[in-house]
Structure 1
Amino acid sequence: MGLIKEIKSKEYRVGITPTGVAALIARGHQVHVEQGAGIGSGFSDQSYEQAGAKIVGTKQAWDQELVVKVKEPIEPEYRYLKQQIVFTYFHLAGVPWALTEALLAGKTSAVAYETLEDENGRLPLLAPMSAVAGNMSVQMGCHYLACCNGGKGVMLGSVLGKRHGNVLIIGDGVVGSHAARTAYGLGANVTVAGLFPENAARLQHEISSEIGFVISDPATIAEHVRSADLVVGAVLTHGARAAHVVTEAMVKTMQPGSVVVDVSIDQGGCIETAHLTTHEAPVFEKHGVVHYCVGNMPGAYPRTSTLALTDATLPYLLKLADKGLSALEQDARFAKALNTYQGYITCLPVAEAYAMQEHFRAFPAAFANA
């Protein structure tokens, strides 16, 4: 197995901790760690060697039957994509077609963290990073609302018992729940827009009865966007490109210096005026509104993110290491993680995002006799 050093801009996370490597070694697997892979998260090469891994160069780390990363391969890494299993976040429906094309050409088995489901239909490997991003969305909103950072000068916080700042969170899943908890904890007025009324009771029980909840429809979203100081886009459709729930016309109604944070940007974004940014240049202004749309938000807190991610991924990684793709054949929900295989797209929402249904084949049924 190979553990890759991330080369995406300002990405410091790593796919496995030394403790995770030790668990793999104990199962009889060899682990090749690319030199410097864990340094950004506070894990030295020596700590991986002490866990039993071998420190190697880039090519040797990639040249393994199973490769583990955090973020999707980027263009300089395409040449390494061969007939191996790559276990990482891909977000294929929201990134340029070139990556999917490279995976198909290399006949790579792309096993995506973000489409793996548990027995309840939830996304257990997306959840830890969604939680971090949800917390961060409000922190970044606070930062950019300051006048000195281009914002309107509204604090999200309680001052002598009075709440200040209006936060609208669109989406009531893991991102939305964590964003709501953080915003309310700071002292802001918080409204969550969701599709399921029963989630109102959950949020109000878990956080506060003062949390507002509205049903997410265009008219209601438009009304609340107009008065929001911070809008957090937290919409997710499993494996598919995000829908635009905040239109450009809605953004135009916001007061100058307001902030939007589109956490859905990995899947294409749920705010029409959003486009992908990086930690090096995280924001831009459109119609007087500050937009924060960083695609790898949790990379800003790599130590916490790596520990949380490994806790979630390690049980599945051990299955992949032990059984290869047979582990997916034996578990239909694990099989949903497979996005490409033998030169075909195996995740229908990805094929639909690019109108490439002719490249879709279901796994494992379509390959049973291959």
Structure 2
Amino acid sequence: MEQKNKGRKKVSLGNLIILIALIVLIALFYLLNPNFLNSYNVLSMMQSLAPYAIMALGVTFVIATGGIDLSIGTTCIAAAVIAGKFYTTGAYPLWAVIPIMIAIGTAVGLLNGILIAKLKMPAFIATLGTMMLTRGLSALIVKDPNIFFPTGTWFNNVFSAAGKVPTGLFWVLGFMLLCMYLMYKNRIGRYILSIGSNEEATRLSGINTDKYKIIAYVFSGCAAGIAAIFWSAAFPTVAAATGNGMELDAIAGVYIGGTSAAGGVASVTGSAIGSLMLVVIRSGLNFVLARFNINLNATYVTYVLTGIIVVVSVLMDVLKNKDEGRVRLDKKKIKKTEGGQTQSK
């Protein structure tokens, strides 16, 4: 219990640090170009945030087990274009794309879970394979280069923005609360974190580790399907056979948010804040480069900064784990020494 409370305190402190860094970033971009916080750009950032944050929240459960899911980006786009194809052919009404997208994402997540938990494939290889699979299959099924979703409908108002109100943000907050409940108040989260800390010890304690690893990947895939809904509502023209790179942004948000790459420690709110930080960086750089007429591609600069931030975040996590390991080892040595002295007496 004491160790659990310490873990939560570390996560809370990490969230506070990330939040302060986010506020500093926003203030810096505003000082460099006040147009950064105009109402149009704020709305645009919130629309972009929704799909990335939902994917990040979903894949947090996978990373908490010590795994990885590289297929979430292509799964998101595959779910969007396949469901969109059903809609544009007139075979299904617009509301039907919602369960279709979620079902596609969940199916891919289940496939990942079986490959990794039951067939013992490395998570990196398994999800790399399903990433290519979903990308290719979506292009073969859809056959059109682009799928067009409607604009100005209830679909856009509910899942993206209604006028100047970013409705997608409210869905993100709701999904974040659900993830917090599952991670911290439910046995699913407890077992997932336990698997990430020590899978063999968890298995020996009688917990079905395969089952909960599959649940983690199914949830990640389901989140990718949900993200497809928000992506389609925010960006009605969806290109088939794309999605590469989306998973890296989502995973980067998770690492920046304080979830351990080694597993066992997860920050749900940190994943959401980390995703927002990346959206702010991407948008802010566009405004800063335009303000000072700097002839650089903001996307590439964002990649550089994101890479640096992720490497630093993961490195800090690795160093922290090493220090904690040394402390535990020193405590064991002290106990052995004290035990030996007691016996000699």
Give the structure-2-normalised TM-score: 0.24
Give the structure-1-normalised TM-score: 0.23
Q: Please identify which structure carries the higher helix content.
A: 2
Greater RCO structure (CA 8 Å; 6+ sep): 2
